[in-house]
A = this chain, B = another copy of it.
C-alpha cells in the first residue's frame, strides 16, 4: 500500500502537456504496490497508470525495466506498455522523481488463488519467457544467490529476535543451497519477472467463467536469470494454502501449462526443488530484513518472514520434482 509522493495538479498538468494524451480528467492514488507511488490516471486518451519511482528503485535500472516492458508488449504480452512523450522518451521526471506513464490493464488479481488460476498463470509465464528471449538488455538478479549472504548478514544482529535460532538455520540453509545451486550455463537463462505474486497477475473471466490472464504487472524486480527460477517463485507464491499446506493440484496445473508452452528440460525439472528452496530463502530474507527494519504499524504492511521459513522447510524435505508437481 503506497503513494508516498503527492504531485501538485499544476506539476501534473505540466508533465502531461509533454504527452499526446489529451486533457487530464482524473487521477487517484492507488493503494497497491509497496515500492512506488502509483496513480490511476484518466485523460482524453483513456486510462493509464502513472508511476513515480521511489527510493527503493535504482534510477539507473529503469531503462532496463521500461525497455523490457516495451519489448514484451510489442511481442503481444499483456503487460504495462510505457507511453512515450512527444520527444520519444517514456522515462521522465515528476515531483523530483523518475516517473513514467504506462497503459492501464483491465483485470482483477486473485485475492484467493484457485486451481483454475494456475494453468493460465503457467502459460502466461512461459509466454513472458518466450517474448523476452530476444530482448538485448541484461540485469543481474540482485536478489539471486550472490545477494543472499550479504542480505543475511544485514539481518544477523536482529534476526534471532524474530525466532530464536533463526540465523543459524538460515546460515545452514544458505550453505546447502549455494552448494546445490545449478552451475552457470547449466540451465536456460533469460528475462524473468522474479516477483510474479498473485497481486501482479490480473485475470478476467473467459468463456464458462474460466479465469484468463489479462495482464502481468510490476516488472521492477525483473532480471536476467534462470527461467525455471521464475517458475520456482510462482510455486512459492501461488501453491501454498493459507494453512501452509502445499497444493500439488495447483502446482501440477502451473508446471504443466508452463511445460506445454515452453518444455522444461530434464535438468530444469530436476533442479526445481533447489530452485524452490532458493526462491523461498530469497523472500524469507527480504521479509526478514523488512521486518527487522520496519517499525510495527508503519505505513508499509510487514509480511511475516516465517511463512517462508515453513516453505523453505517444505521444499528442503521434498523427495524430488514429482513431489512438487513437476
Q: Indicate whether A12 reaches chain B with its CB closer than 8 angstroms.
A: yes
Tell me if B40 and A6 are in contact (CB < 8 A). Answer: no
Q: Indicate whether A55 reaches chain B with its CB closer than 8 angstroms.
A: no
Q: Indicate whether A108 reaches chain B with its CB closer than 8 angstroms.
A: yes
For A1, the chain B residues whose CB sits under 8 A away are 1, 3, 29, 31, 299
Q: A29-B32, A30-B28 are in contact. Are A9 and B108 (CB under 8 A)?
A: yes
Which residues 193-209 of A sit at the B interface, judged by CB distance below 8 A? 202-205
Which residues 23-75 of A sit at the B interface, judged by CB distance below 8 A? 23-32, 40, 42, 47
Q: Which of B23, B31, B107, B112 contacts A2 (CB 8 A)?
A: B31
For A112, the chain B residues whose CB sits under 8 A away are 8-10
- Among A1, A31, A109, max chain B CB count under 10 A is at A31
Residue of B nearest to A2 (CB): B31
Tell me if A111 and B30 are in contact (CB < 8 A). Answer: no
Tell me if B8 and A28 are in contact (CB < 8 A). Answer: no
Q: A3-B31, A31-B2 are in contact. Are A24 and B108 (CB under 8 A)?
A: yes
Tell me if B7 and A28 are in contact (CB < 8 A). Answer: no
A153 to B149, CA, bound (A): 54
Q: Indicate whether A295 reaches chain B with its CB closer than 8 angstroms.
A: yes
- Among A9, A295, A301, max chain B CB count under 10 A is at A9
Chain B: minimal CB distance from A197 (Å)? 14
Residue of B nearest to A110 (CB): B9
6 interchain pairs, CB-CB under 8 A:
A9-B112, A23-B204, A25-B107, A30-B31, A295-B297, A298-B298
State the 9 A-B residue pairs at the shortest beta-carbon distance, nearest first.
A29-B31, A31-B31, A3-B31, A8-B111, A25-B106, A297-B298, A26-B106, A8-B112, A28-B30
Residues of A that sit less than 8 Å from B by CB: 1-3, 6-10, 12-13, 23-32, 40, 42, 47, 104-112, 202-205, 295, 297-299, 301
